Amino acid sequence: MDEIMSLACRHLSVALRAIIAGSVVFVGPALAQQQAPAAKPSAPKTAAPKSAAAAPAASSIPGAPQPRLLAQFGEWGAYTATPSGKKVCFALAKPVTSSTVPPNRPRDPAWMFISSRPAEKVRDEVSVIFGYGLKPNADANIEIAGGTYAMYTQADGGWVKNPAEEPKLVEMMRKGADATVKGTSARGTVSTDVYSLKGLSQALDKIGQECR
């Protein structure tokens, strides 16, 4: 029952995910100026079960809360926003390498973000946008330093399946060099995304200061 309640609570983060989807469109030029030329900026699509083409509109909705870039640390940006008047903070990055099996399957951009929502007493929640609809009832996983952390999935998003493992995962990410995320699309395509963890620790410290 506790696990079911935990999963249900995490579905409430859809609003934050929608803001993040819009935020990347909004802050894309800033990221482009601050990141290395090799990292091409591109707009992700919302993780909610809607048409991917709807994502760019998220940042243009009148009155929608626009996120603010606090700082860029390596591959990770630190942001804050106030959806519905409630402050949220998040660190955001995209993969440094991506591959699929079968190869070269089309997909939307993938992203990983770690969010804190003081009003909900949520800190350092790890989420992934895979860039495609995931296979129903199939778990995905994050691999780091020889350990594997299962993620439950919905639409094109994933969350750490066992919340009790999340603090350990975040600590490993703070210390690690990279993390690998694997998932399976509804069509059976297996994706492997490698995220550099350079700058993550500093980004988390920044959002921790902003969202105490």
The predicted structure's pLDDT at residue 84: 82
Q: How far apart are CA 82 and CA 195, in angstroms?
A: 27
Cβ–Cβ under 8 Å, residues 119 and 86: yes
In sequence order, what are the beta bridge partners of 91? Answer: 78, 114
- Dihedral of alpha carbons 48, 177, 143, 95, sign: positive
CATH architecture designation of domain 2-46+62-210: Sandwich (2.60)
The predicted structure's pLDDT at residue 19: 52
State pTM to two decimals. 0.74
The predicted structure's pLDDT at residue 38: 26
The predicted structure's pLDDT at residue 2: 38
The predicted structure's pLDDT at residue 21: 52
pLDDT per residue of the chain (212 residues) written in tens, 0 to 9 = 334 333 333 433 454 455 555 544 333 323 322 322 222 223 333 333 322 222 223 333 445 467 899 999 999 999 999 888 889 999 999 999 999 999 999 999 999 999 999 999 999 999 999 999 999 888 899 999 999 999 999 999 999 999 999 999 999 999 999 999 999 999 999 999 999 999 999 999 999 999 98
The predicted structure's pLDDT at residue 139: 85
The predicted structure's pLDDT at residue 85: 86
Q: How far apart are CA 82 and CA 93, in angstroms?
A: 20
The predicted structure's pLDDT at residue 179: 98
Helices (H), the chain: 2-11, 14-34, 166-175, 200-210
